[in-house]
């Protein structure tokens, strides 16, 4: 039976759109919920509600805004198990993935609350004896467009620091996860007693996303935009934001490598490859999409990697907690994975594990013989399919890892940290991890990519910088004279 949702959340109240759209369970295609299908006017009303709430919210003592963030975190903790169930039903996530995500989100709100207790500026030297200060101030209305793959984590990351700093927010979640990525937050913020209009949530179908998205960027009350999603859409959003001279933070796709050196600890390396490639069916922006292995240990690594990945159970995660590999989010994504797989096989790649596709369920798949002319080598896959590619020298591994338009994350496996750092310093990525997977995040770190993987940073004080404006303020105390002719 489909879940009944209260409606959109605008100005502290619940309202329905003129029509709804179906929110599907990706495991079986059943209707999980019926969701309000907002139009451009609904988005405009939400932005106006956020603008109306901004002055009072931003004027609150920073301690009060922090206390609200802590209350939100507390409710997330209280509701953990029902949120895990929703993540499984709406997003097709494994039970363990849901437990991780629901455990992580409260820490984001804790970190956002803590950010208010750190410095918000600095005193600068002045040759004229002024008291010269650089300070940060809330921008106004920030719109947040969040993705479906880690809907509560990536929504929380987009809104928490912006709100704590004194901005108000209009949130549009993905049409694939409108509840866990959006309306769930409205429920929790309402229960936490956050003032009306501080957080507003509008949901819409794919049919209306262009019009709603344009309003979220172009409306003159909107001062900043946060987007997490595909590079193709991120380019469009950043271009439109730039045309309106608006601040924009976009975290986009990746084609991330795990480099396994010949001195890597084998158990750790195969586990990093397995987790990085197949966690949440590879539907993570920083998933391992190329495993690069030194030729001296290639055969041993491949054998042990295949054996480890073969143990991952495929199936509906809502029916069995042991099902680690759930469904891809929709048929379009399955089609993309199938196209890359078939293209690679047609051009000479060899499947050494998996390769089967049953509906939206794709087996953990490992290939060898993947070369640069294959789509699987160049394009982001966002599925549980990964090539293992040999290299002879560290320089060759670096060249392969950098041979992509993307630059989000990477991992380097070696017992020589100096060697690892030497490799890291030549990789064109925003994030990199020695002796760990490319899949890494913490609430207080600067997270973001380079090249086609995005602009701007989320996390810790970098989120505060992203979602505030820097101002220069002086107090004249040195008696700096004006020219006498004036």
Q: What's the Rg (C-alpha) of the chain?
A: 24
Tokens for 88, please give them: 């499984």
CA atoms within a 13 Å half-sphere pointing along the CA-CB vector of 178: 28
Coil, helix or strand at residue 178? coil
What distance in Å separates the CA atoms of residue 86 and residue 76, rounded to the nearest whole number? 13
Question: Does the active-site annotation cover 285?
Answer: yes
Residue 75's contacts (CB-CB under 8 Å, 6 or more residues apart) are 188, 191, 192
Q: What is the DSSP string of 403-442?
A: -SS--S-EEEE-S-HHHHHHHHTT---S--EETS-S----
Which residue among the candidates 48, 101, 215, 251 is catalytic per the annotation?
A: 251
Question: Parallel, antiparallel, or unpaired: how do β-strands 131-138 and 121-124 relate?
Answer: antiparallel
Which residues are registered as beta bridge partners of 143?
170, 225
What is the spatial order of strands in the sheet that 199-201 belongs to?
A: 13-15, 8-10, 199-201, 168-172, 141-145, 222-228, 247-251, 454-455
Which of 204, 248, 249, 285 is flagged as catalytic?
285
Of 476, 464, 478, nearest in space to 121 by CA = 464
* DSSP strands (E only) in 232-284: 247-251, 256-260
Are 60 and 163 contacting, i.e. CB atoms less than 8 angstroms apart?
no
C-alpha torsion 208→197→104→179, nearest 10: -40
d(Cα 343, Cα 3) in Å, to the nearest integer? 40
CB 284 within 8 A of CB 439: yes
Whether 187 is catalytic: no
Distance CA 81, CA 327 (A): 21
Residue 229, by phi and psi: left (phi above 0), alpha (psi -120 to 50) or beta?
left
Q: How many residues are recorded in the chain? A: 486
Show which residues are catalytic: 251, 285
């Amino acid at each position: 039976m489909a879940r009944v949702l209260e409606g959109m959340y605008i100005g502290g109240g619940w309202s329905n759109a003129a029509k709804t759209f179906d929110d599907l369970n990706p495991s079986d295609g059943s209707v999980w919920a019926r969701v309000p299908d907002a139009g451009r006017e609904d988005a405009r009303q939400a932005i106006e509600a956020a603008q109306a709430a901004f002055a009072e919210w931003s004027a609150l003592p920073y301690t009060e805004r922090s206390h609200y963030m802590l209350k939100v975190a507390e409710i997330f903790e209280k509701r953990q198990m029902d949120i895990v169930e929703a993540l499984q039903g709406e997003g097709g996530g494994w039970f363990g993935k849901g437990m991780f995500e629901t455990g992580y989100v409260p820490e984001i709100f804790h970190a956002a609350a803590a950010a208010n207790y750190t410095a918000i500026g600095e005193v600068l030297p002045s040759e004229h004896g002024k008291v010269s200060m650089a300070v940060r101030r809330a921008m106004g209305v920030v719109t947040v467009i969040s993705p479906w793959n880690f809907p509560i984590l990536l929504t929380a990351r987009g809104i928490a620091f912006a709100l704590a700093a004194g901005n108000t927010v209009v949130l549009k979640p993905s049409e694939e996860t409108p509840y866990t990525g959006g309306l769930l937050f409205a429920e929790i913020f309402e229960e936490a007693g956050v003032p009306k209009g501080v957080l507003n949530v509008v949901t819409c179908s794919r049919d209306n996303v262009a019009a709603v998205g344009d309003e979220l960027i172009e409306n003159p009350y909107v001062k900043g935009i946060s987007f997490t999603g595909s590079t193709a859409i991120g380019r469009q959003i950043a271009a439109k934001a730039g045309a309106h001279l608006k601040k924009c933070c976009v975290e986009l796709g990746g084609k991330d490598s795990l480099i396994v050196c010949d001195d890597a600890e084998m158990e750790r390396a195969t586990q990093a490859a397995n987790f990085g490639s197949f966690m949440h069916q590879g539907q993570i922006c920083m998933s391992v999409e190329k495993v690069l292995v030194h030729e001296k240990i290639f055969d041993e690594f491949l054998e042990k990697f295949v054996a480890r990945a073969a143990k991952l159970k495929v199936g509906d995660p809502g029916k069995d907690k042991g099902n680690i590999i759930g469904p891809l989010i929709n048929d379009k994504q399955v089609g993309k994975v199938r196209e890359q797989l078939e293209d690679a096989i047609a051009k000479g790649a060899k499947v050494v594990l998996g390769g089967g596709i049953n509906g939206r369920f794709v087996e953990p798949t490992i290939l060898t013989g993947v070369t640069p002319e294959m789509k699987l080598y160049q394009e982001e896959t966002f599925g549980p399919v990964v090539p293992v590619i040999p290299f002879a020298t560290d320089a060759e591994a670096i060249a392969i890892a950098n041979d992509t338009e993307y630059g989000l994350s990477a991992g380097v496996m070696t017992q020589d940290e100096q060697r690892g750092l030497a490799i890291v310093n030549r990789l064109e990525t925003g994030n990199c991890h020695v002796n760990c997977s490319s899949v890494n995040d913490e609430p207080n770190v600067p997270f973001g990519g380079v090249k086609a993987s995005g602009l701007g940073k989320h996390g810790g004080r970098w989120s505060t910088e992203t979602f505030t404006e820097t101002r220069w303020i002086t107090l004249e105390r040195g008696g700096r004279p004006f020219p006498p002719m004036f």
